[in-house]
Amino acid sequence: MSKYTDWGMIHGEGEIVCECDNCGNEERIEFDEGYPDYKEAQKELRSMGWVSRKIDGEWNDFCCPDCANEYYQKHRKQRGY
Ligand SMILES: [Zn+2]
Ligand SMILES: [Zn+2]
């Protein structure tokens, strides 16, 4: 899962950074309540068209369903089936 917290200069503020596992596209969700709310960020990302897919037991984030499919196809080719 390509999500991490980018803490801001002010204590308790920052951004949750989400990176597309296929194309590297980046989306930042700001927070200022003292801690990053990943559940809320996930909801917001979904409303922007992002999707999560479990591939080989690992969660991946994608900026759109096309990226998810592309990544899945590439991954499948690598594995040879
Ligand atoms: Zn993408
Ligand atoms: Zn995309």
Interstrand relation of 58-62 and 51-55 (parallel, antiparallel or unpaired): antiparallel
Question: Cα(30) to centroid of ligand 1, in Å?
Answer: 20
Question: Cα(11) to centroid of ligand 1, in Å?
Answer: 31
pTM equals 0.84
Look at residue 66 and give its three-state secondary structure.
Answer: helix
Question: Cα(22) to centroid of ligand 2, in Å?
Answer: 8
Which sequence spans correspond to the domains of the chain?
A: 3-79
pLDDT at 47: 97
What is the tens place of the pLDDT at every residue in 9-36?
988 999 999 999 999 999 999 999 899 9
47: which 2 tokens?
């409303």
